[in-house]
Amino acid sequence: MARPDLNLLVTLDVLLEEGSVTRAGERLALSPSAMSRALARLRRATGDPLLVRAGRGLVPTPHAVALRDRVRRLVQEAEEVLRPASPLDLATLERTFALRSSDGFVERFGPALVAEVGREAPGVRLRFLRKTKKDTAPLRDGVVDLETGVVEQAPAPDVVSEPLFTDRFIGVVRSAHPLSTGKVTAARYASSRHVHVSRRGLPEGLVDAALPTGHHRRIVTMVDGFGAALALANASDLVATVPDRHTAHLRQGMCSFELPFRAPEVTVSLLWHVRLDADPAHRWLRDRVVDVCRFDGRD
């Protein structure tokens, strides 16, 4: 079956409003003959005369009268769809955004972000989700609007990323730990008991690759998040090696120290799906996340 010409809806809308082929043609910038041909096509498409002669004018048939309001609504909705988006009004914006991140991000940057969003757009709600694995499916499926993470490989073509800040790893122990006093050497650090963080269960990571030759961490336990690693270190003699900025609020009251070798660095990025790239509200929220992370990450 041939696809109907939807342009005929506009023509029918004007014809039914004007009740005149001549006046309808003038509004649509069509010649009388072109307008007559359009009316003939409409009659064939609907199987109804639509407009019939009554004296010197035209009157709508019952079917045309029944169609009038429906056609008007369809044309108005089509015009609304094709109209440029209205300017973003933050004062009246009501929307919920889902942000997925590793543990520690919300504690570090969440309060400032919530405050900033609340000042500018009181009707916006933020839903924070914990990131348990590297997977862009939630972005692609629309379950998540934004997420943060370390981009190890080029993202898929439909995922956009923007660097937020660079973080470096530090060592963290409880306040009375042996490493809390004296010089921390590579030998002292490596021979201590360590808690290793890996969401994928890998036995070693960036820190192990950065250790000087001949030194190996004594890893005695593994967890899938920085919060769990710091909780264990705070209640035992374990050493947690975590990103500095990302975990600032999680390690309050603990002893932090520079690694006695070149510390690994990672770049934390903001990611979103390309379909939301031009969305004004989404762009506004991205800018707020970037501002909060880049400002708050320096203190």
SS (H, E, C) 86-151: CCCCCCCCCEEEEEEECCCHHHHHHHHHHHHHHHHCCCEEEEEEECCCCCCHHHHHCCCCEEEEEC
The per-residue pLDDT for 56 is 80
pLDDT 10s digits, 57-101: 889 999 999 999 999 999 888 887 777 777 899 999 999 999 999
Q: What are phi and psi of 196, to 5 degrees?
A: -105, 135
Domains, the chain, in order of start with CATH, read 7-82 (1.10.10.10), 95-147+274-296 (3.40.190.10), 166-266 (3.40.190.10)
Q: Is 183 helix (H, G, I), strand (E, B) or coil?
A: coil
Q: Are 110 and 146 in contact (CB under 8 A)?
A: no
Q: How far is CA 210 from CA 10, 170, 190, in A?
A: 68, 12, 12
pTM of the model: 0.70
pLDDT 10s digits, 118-150: 999 999 999 999 887 778 889 998 999 999 988
